[in-house]
Copies of this chain bind each other. A is one copy, B any other.
């Protein structure tokens, strides 16, 4: 039964993008729903993607001097309340623990929605001198936010993420680290996930609760909606003052530390699906695909076919993540399943191929088939995976650019959001009232103020007053 579902047609993107997304996450075996409302099971095919993201991101972190730690999952209510903006932002969406065993607790604990307050409490005890700085810590964990509307990977009550939290002697160093991690995230998205992103600060309205500045990377999904793929916050000394985190500097005076935090989550898996997927299912970028090559034997009952498939698997395993589909299903069925699950390459080997000393390799993204001599299979598979990784990024960038518009007037702005879907670049006066109005009228938000600024017009696209910045606007996940 499970198999039948697998090859059933999924809803087409064009017909209903949201349903297409749900079909893909379920039929590609990434998640399952649970009895816990708003929470999901991440199944082996989904979790293996997260493991590859974790591994490659963690390697980049370690090369950037990040050390991993683990802090408690609970935050006492009094601790959460220490930074005013922060508690206002998070209190309405946290889960509260009120009983331990059979006893009511003296103080409620919330399940961490993010761990700034815990890191501050820890740093307050751990930092004394300039010699103790900087602290560049990160943790991999799950967090909880009591969302009303949930969608697999994109918005769930519990999700997996990493949260980096750093403390520095100077404001300059904190700002440098904030930007360093933003750039690390952007490079990771482009090089590993093949997802191009726009980098820049958020507006005041959109920044993180308690932050002095929030920087984000913004990606465009296939349906033209934006997705915030990672954020990096500079707290200046706001949290340090609220928590009393001071150190004795070289000049023997007491100073407050300057802090940052930055995070990426399992929603990246949602981004992979919505940037690269198609009407046959998932299309996985080779670098995060748990299976890079699926070998499908043709006429596998014929003598020597399965043996040859296993032999190729053993050979390719030295360089790639490879499996053989030796199940009893028909090749057609296996092809459809391989497409649904998005394996980058499908390698077909049958009696005729063996006779000719070759096999056929099919690319998931283009469907292009290549005949490959068996003694060149490692080299050729490597080339195809590299090409596919590169072209997936290029294709995503072309799609993003083709769906990025410019608006100089309010009429143009509204017209675009009425008829099209994508990023809109437009000038802004810097006044939150304009953001509020745009959000209310069009359900459009400012995504970021890109580092790469252009001068499209002199006046704000909303109010017509003098403009100060160009902003990327969009409808967002």
Contacts and interface: CB of A to CB of B under 8 A. Distances in A.
A333 to B, nearest CB: 14
Interface in A143-177: 144, 146, 157-158, 160
A34 B71 contact: yes
A97 B95 contact: yes
B128 A72 contact: no
A128 B40 contact: no
B69 A109 contact: no
Nearest to A141: B142
Contacts of A102: 91-92
A101 B146 contact: yes
Nearest to A69: B47
A93 B97 contact: no
A69 B98 contact: no
26 contacts: A1-B129, A2-B128, A32-B122, A34-B71, A34-B121, A34-B122, A35-B121, A36-B74, A41-B69, A41-B122, A42-B69, A42-B70, A44-B67, A44-B69, A47-B68, A47-B69, A72-B158, A73-B142, A92-B102, A95-B99, A96-B98, A96-B99, A97-B111, A98-B98, A98-B99, A111-B111
Interface in A38-73: 39-44, 47-48, 50-51, 67-73
A61 to B, nearest CB: 12
A326 B32 CA distance: 51
A101 B111 contact: no
Interface in A72-124: 72-76, 79, 91-102, 109, 111, 118, 121-122
A157 B72 CA distance: 9
A132 interface: yes
Contacts of A68: 44, 47-48, 51
Nearest to A118: B34
Counting chain B CB atoms within 10 Å of each CB, the highest count among A32, A47, A137, A160 belongs to A47
A120 to B, nearest CB: 10
A376 interface: no
A73 B32 contact: no
A8 interface: no
B67 A41 contact: no
Contact of A160 (B34, B70, B101, B126): B70
A34 B125 CA distance: 9
Interface in A363-388: none
Nearest to A139: B47
Counting chain B CB atoms within 10 Å of each CB, the highest count among A32, A36, A137, A146 belongs to A36
Copies of this chain, whole number: 2
Interface of A: 1-2, 32, 34-36, 39-44, 47-48, 50-51, 67-76, 79, 91-102, 109, 111, 118, 121-122, 125-126, 128-129, 132, 137, 141-142, 144, 146, 157-158, 160
A132 B96 contact: no
Contacts of A34: 71-72, 118, 121-122
A69 B96 contact: no
Given A42-B69, A73-B142, A95-B100, 14 more contacts: A2-B128, A34-B121, A36-B74, A39-B72, A39-B73, A41-B69, A41-B70, A44-B67, A74-B95, A92-B102, A95-B99, A96-B98, A96-B100, A98-B98
Nearest to A126: B32
A138 to B, nearest CB: 10
Contacts of A95: 74, 97, 99-101, 109
Contacts of A40: 72
Contacts of A69: 41-44, 47
A101 B93 contact: yes
Contacts of A92: 101-102
A111 B160 CA distance: 16
Nearest to A159: B70
A99 B94 CA distance: 8
A79 B95 CA distance: 19
A122 B44 CA distance: 13
Nearest to A98: B98
A37 to B, nearest CB: 9
Contacts of A125: 32
A50 B69 CA distance: 10
A291 to B, nearest CB: 12
